[in-house]
Amino acid sequence: MFGTYFLTTLFSIWMCAKTLQLPPPSYPDETYLGLPFRIRRALPPPPSFRPGRSVNSDCSIHISCEEPGNACALLDDKCSCSVSLFTCEDWSNKTFTFKRPMSYLGRSDLIINGENSGIAFEFIDWFVPNFLRHSASKFPRLDISHFCESIADSIEKHSLSLEKLDLSFNKFTRVPKFSHDLDSLFKYDLSNNNIANVLNTDFNNTSKLEQLNLSNNNLSSVAEDLLFHLNRLEELDLSHNQISVLPVGLLKDSRLKSFNMKLEELYLQSNNIREINLAGLLEYKIEYLTFLENTNEVDLSFKNFRNLNAVFSRDFSRFDLSYNPLVCDCRLNDFIQYLRSNQNASHFAFHTENIFCTKPTDMYGVFLQTINQHLICDYQENCPEYCYCYVDDVDHIFYVWIDCINSGLTHFPKINSYGSSVSINLSLAHNHISSLPLNKNDPIWSQITVLDLSYNQLKSLTNVISIFPNLTELNLRNNSLTGFDDKITSLSHLEKLRLEDNPWKCDCEMVKSALKLARIEQNLIFCQKDSNELQSFVEFYKNCNSSFNVLWIVLPIIICICVIIISVIAVLFIKYKAEILYYMFSRGICLRFVSEEMDFDKVYDAFVSYSGEDEDWIVDFLVPGLEMGIPSYKLCLHSRDWRAGEFITDQIVKSVESSRRTIIVLTDNYLKSNWSRLEFDVAYQQALKDQVRRVIAVVPDEVPDLSKIDKEFKSFITLTTYVEAKKPYFWRKLRASMPRTNNTRKASNTRKSVYLKPSVNENTV
C-alpha cells in the first residue's frame, strides 16, 4: 500500500489521545498546541531565509477551546475508534485561529494518523477543513489514515497544493470530492477502504498523478475511461478487489492521437477476473503486470503479442500470471509460441511457473510451461453428423480435426468445405466402413492429409492414391486387407503408414512392395501363410530371398566367366579372323548373318590379273583350286575369256566391271608388266568408286621387291593383307576374301588332278 511514509518532512502533527502533552522546556524546536497533537520541526529554516518573511524560529499555532468537556459524547455508533479524551466538547462550533500565517513551512508533511489512538473523527471532520483552508497548501504531503468515516468535502477549491495524499485505512465508500481538484497531486493512496465504485470524474483534474493505489477495496468494476486524464500514471494497484471484468479500453486510448501513457506497474492480483484482453496493453510500457491468484477461469487472448520486443522496450519488464486457471485451447497458441521463441531473448519476461489449465478436461492440471503441443478449439460449424470438429484457430482456420470415432458409420461422411487451403485430419476409427468413398472426384478428399481408418472393414485399397493424393499419414490397422496395392508407394507426401493387424496373404511381391515403404513398422506386420501360420513381413521376405541366394552368389561368377570367354574369343577372332571366316564360309556356317554385297549383275566372281609368264601357276594351281572347290567360283582369265580383236584396254575395263573381285597375282614379272599395272589401276579405281574391297593380292612364291614400284602401288601393297601360297591355310584365307556365292556344286572328276596339287600344300586345321 501507499501508506509508506517518506520521512523527508519538516513538520509532523501527531494526534495522541491518551494524555495531553505539555511543552517541556527541553524541546526548543517543538511548538505545541493546546490539543493532543504537536508540530515538530525536524529541520531548521533554510539558511537564506530572512525573518522578515513571516516565519521565525518560535513559529506557533494556537487553537482556542473555551469550553473544554468530554468529546466522547460526540461519537456515534458508526465510529469504531477508541475512546477519546479530548477536552473540547464541540469542535464544530470552535474557531481555528493563527497567531500569524504560516507563509513558509519548507518541504514538510502533515500526518494525522489515527492508528492505535482514540482520536474522534469529529475532530478530523472539523479540523481538517479549517486547518487546510488556511495552511495545508504549505504541506506537500498529507496523511490522514486509520479513521472511520469520510472527510468533509467542504474544502475550498484551488486551496491545496498537495503532492502526496494518503487516505488509506479509512472507511471511505467513494473517492473524496476534495481530491478531485488536486492538480499538483502525483501520489494518491486510497487503499484499505470500502470504495465500491470509482467514477470517471474522480480524477479529471489530477493529470499529474503518477501513482494510484486502490487496492483492498470493494471494487467490482472499473470504468473504461477511468484513466482517461491520467496521462502520467506509472503505477496502478487494483489488487484485492472484486473485479470480474477488466475493460478492454481501460488502458487503451482511442480518442487522442498524441496520448502517451507511462503506466509501468499494474497490480490485479486477488480479483475475480475471468477474461483479459491484452490488446490494449501493447500501447504501454508496463514493467510489471501481475494477475496473481485470480480464482476464476481466465480466457487469455494473446493475438497481438507478436511484436512485444518492439513495444515493451524497457529492461527487466515482467508479466506474472501465476496461480491462474486457464482455458487451454487454440486461443493460447500464439502466447505459447511467443514464450517458446522469444522468452529468452525478450526483455518482457512472463512468469508462468504456477499457471495451469482447467479446461478442456484432458488438459486439467497441466501447467502452461509444460505444454509442447498445438492446442485446438471446439468448432461445430459445418461439422458432419455424429462427429466432433476442432480447429487450430477460430478466426483463421488452417487445420481442421474431424473426429468420427465409434460413430457407427458404414460409409464416409459428407464433409463440407472449410476453404480450399484448409488441411483436414479425418478420424474414422472404430466404425463399419468397408469401402472408400464413392464420390471419388469430390475435391474435399484432396484436402485430407491425415486419415485414420483403423478398426474398420476395408477389403481393398484400390484408388486410394487418386482419391487421397495429399496424405501424409494413413492408418489402416485392424481391417480386412489381404493384398497390398504397390501404387501406394507413389504417395510422395506419405510420412507414416500403419498396416498392422490385417489378414495379409504371404506373397513375395506384395511383401517386397510393402517393405519398400520406410514409413511402416515392418516388424509389427504379419502375413498368413498357406498353413495359416503367421509370419512377419521381414522374416517372410528373408525366406523369399533364400531361393535366390545361390543365384546371387553364382551369377557374378558366371558373368565373370562369360566376360573372360568373350574376351578370349574376341582376341582370337581378331588374330585369326581370316581363318575363322574361311572355315565358316567353307562349311556354310552362319552365312545368313554375314552381310555381303550381292553383285548379281556381275558375270564373274573374280578377274585374275597376272603376267603371262606366270600363266602355268595360274592354270595349274590357282584356277583349279577356286573353280573346282566348294564353293566353286567363276573366274575371268584374259587367256581364256577375252575376245580376239578387241582393244586390250577395253577388255581390261570390261573384265574388271564384270567381276566381283580382282585377284592380283603379285610376282616380279607382274611388277614389270605394263598391262598388269593397267589392270591394277582399273581395279583399284573401281573399288574406290564402289567403296568395296574388290582387290585381292596373292603371292605365289616370294614377296617381290617393292622398292622399284611407284608410290601408289607400293602403298596399296603395304596396307593390304596379301595371301601367300606357301603359308598354311592359303585356300581358307583366299576363300574368306572371295565374295559369297551359293554355288556348292561338287568338284568334277576330270579336274580332280588339277586341284589335288594345292591340297597337298595346304595344311589341315
Are residues 464 and 397 part of one domain? yes
Indicate whether 458 and 426 sit together in one domain.
Answer: yes
- pLDDT 10s digits, 571-594: 988 887 756 665 665 455 665 554
How far apart (Å, rounded) are the C-alpha atoms in residues 356 and 293?
Answer: 12
688 inside domain: yes
Q: Which helix H or strand E contains 212, and what residues bound it?
A: strand 211-213
Q: Please tell me whether residues 476 and 382 are part of one structural domain.
A: yes
What pLDDT does 519 receive? 62
Mean pLDDT taken over the chain: 67
Count CB atoms within 10 A of the CB of residue 366: 15
Q: Is 369 domain-assigned?
A: no
Quick check: 446 pLDDT over 60?
Answer: yes
Q: What does the pLDDT read at residue 562? A: 93
What is the tens place of the pLDDT at every residue in 33-45?
333 333 333 333 3
User: Which of 590, 612, 645 represents a domain boundary (last residue)?
Assistant: 590
Query: Are 278 and 290 a contacting pair, CB within 8 Å?
Result: no
Closest to 60 (Cα-Cα) out of 94, 35, 85: 35
Q: Provide DSSP, 143-192.
A: EEES-SSPPPS-PPTT----SEEE--SS--SS--GGGGG-TT--EEE--S
pLDDT above 80 for 126: no
Give the closest residue to 426 by CA, choosing from 373, 474, 481. 474
pLDDT at res. 92: 40
Per-residue pLDDT tens digits for 483-542? 777 677 777 778 888 888 888 877 777 777 777 665 666 666 777 776 676 767 677 767
For the chain, what percentages of helix, strand and coil (3-state, to nearest 5) are there?
30, 15, 55
Q: How many domains does the chain have?
A: 3
Residues 443 and 575 in one domain: no
Band the pLDDT of 563: cuts 50, 70, 90. Answer: very high
Show Cβ contacts of residue 64 under 8 Å, excluding neighbours closer than 6 positions.
Answer: 34, 94, 95, 97
- Across 346-468, where does the E strand assignment appear? 348-351, 356-359, 377-378, 388-391, 399-403, 423-427, 448-452
C-alpha distances in angstroms, 640 versus 288, 574, 606, 617, 680? 130, 38, 14, 15, 19
Domain of residue 650 covers 598-737
Exposed / middle / buried, residue 560 (Cβ in 10 Å: 0-12, 13-18, 19+) = exposed
CA distances from 240 to 86, 227, 282 (A): 36, 19, 24
Q: How far apart are CA 625 and CA 721, in angstroms?
A: 20
DSSP-assigned letters across all residues of 607-631 = EEE--GGGHHHIIIIIHHHHHSSSS
Q: What is the mean pLDDT of residues 313-323?
A: 53
The CATH number assigned to the domain holding 419 equals: 3.80.10.10
Q: Are residues 584 and 668 in the same domain?
A: no
Q: Is the Cβ–Cβ distance between 502 and 478 less than 8 Å?
A: yes
Rounded alpha-carbon distances, angstroms, from residue 375 to 351, 370, 589, 667, 718: 20, 13, 83, 105, 92
Q: Can you say whether the dihedral through the CA atoms of 499, 416, 385, 373 is positive or negative?
A: positive
Considering Cα of 331, then 336, then 338, then 339, what sign does the dihedral take?
A: positive
Region 599-607: mean pLDDT is 82
Residues 528, 584 within the same domain: no
Residues 610 and 530 grouped into a single domain: no
Do 146 and 172 meet the contact criterion of CB atoms below 8 Å apart? Answer: no
- The answer to whether residues 406 and 509 belong to one domain is yes
Same domain, 606 and 708: yes
Residue 567 inside a domain? The answer is: yes
pTM of this prediction? 0.40
Report DSSP state, residue 392. Answer: S
* pLDDT at position 551: 64
Torsional sign, CA 160, 165, 166, 172: positive
The dihedral sign for the CA sequence 637, 642, 648, 649: negative
Q: Give percent of the chain with pLDDT exceeding 90.
A: 7
| Report for 248-262, 324-338, 347-361: range of highest mean pLDDT | 324-338
Regarding whether 631 and 575 lie in a shared domain, the answer is: no
Strand extents, DSSP E, 434-572: 448-452, 473-475, 496-498, 504-505, 526-528, 534-536
- Mark whether 564 and 641 lie in a shared domain: no
Q: Which three cell numbers stand for residue 708?
A: 622399284
Q: Please check whether residue 245 lies inside any domain of the structure.
A: no
Check residue 501 and give left, alpha or beta (phi > 0: left; psi -120 to 50: alpha): left
Say how far apart CA 670 and CA 453 lie, in whole Å. 96
Q: Are residues 500 and 446 in the same domain?
A: yes
Residue 403 predicted with pLDDT over 90: yes
pLDDT at residue 24, as a whole number? 35
Please give the pLDDT value at position 681: 80
Contact, 484 vs 510, CB < 8 A? yes
Alpha carbons within 13 angstroms on the beta-carbon side of residue 595 total 1
* Residue 681 resides in a domain: yes
- The pLDDT of 445-449, averaged and rounded, is 91
